Amino acid sequence: MRSGTGTLRSTAYDDVPYTRGGAVDRTEVGALVQSAVDGDAAAWKALVEGMSPLVWSVVRAHRLSEADGHEVYQTVWFRFAQHLGRIREPDKAGAWLASTARNECLKVLKAMARLTLTDDPRVLDRASDEQTPEESLIASEEAADRAERSRRLWQELDALGERCRQLLRVLVASPPPSYVEISAALGIAVGSIGPLRQRCLRRLRARMDARGAA
């Protein structure tokens, strides 16, 4: 079977070898990713053929059906192509692919878990996203609890010193900035950011624990 991103040796993914990393050595991955970013079609083909066994091994571990497995496989490579130029550590592309494959598999399994096999017309007539009164109440209580925890967290964060408050607010930004960007924005040496972050988080945790105990 030939896909849009590469060639599989079999239509059934159980027949694909699951050697971690395939035929591509980890030391080659970074260079291949860079070449693929530059438009090198041969490098892209080498990545797909060499790393596909790793993707399939993750799919196989989640015991998806053949159809779902191929869907996840295609999605993973589509996402990889989308993010190719933004991968910060090209030599760790294998970890990126494995993590993405796992997330996509879990999405499929979660969707399957929502399906209930039944011949009860009362169940079949309900909208898939309809909640029972009990579920609505629980969801409402959980949302209120999350909102209260978030309010307390930000209240304690504001009580920290200016340095910690600025650093932690920057670190929770999405997408997260690099340490170089944080250093330029806050005037903190790159080597000091990690230790300062840990100290600030310990202080924040201590304040939250004290509030919880109270």
Per-residue pLDDT of the chain (214 residues; tens, 9 = 90+): 333 443 333 333 334 333 344 456 667 888 999 999 888 888 898 999 888 888 888 888 888 888 899 999 999 999 899 888 888 888 888 888 888 888 999 988 888 776 545 555 554 454 444 555 555 666 666 777 777 777 777 778 778 888 888 888 787 776 677 888 888 888 888 899 889 989 888 888 888 777 764 4
User: How far is 14 from 107, CA to CA, in rounded Å?
Assistant: 21
DSSP secondary structure of 14-67: GGS---TTTT--HHHHHHHHHHHHTT-HHHHHHHHHHHHHHHHHHHHHTT--HH
Burial class (CB in 10 A: 0-12, 13-18, 19+), 40: middle
- List the structure tokens of 202: 């310990």
Q: Among 166, 152, 43, 168, which residue's Cα sits nearest to residue 93?
A: 43
pTM score > 0.75 for this model?
no
Residue type (1 letter), 2: R
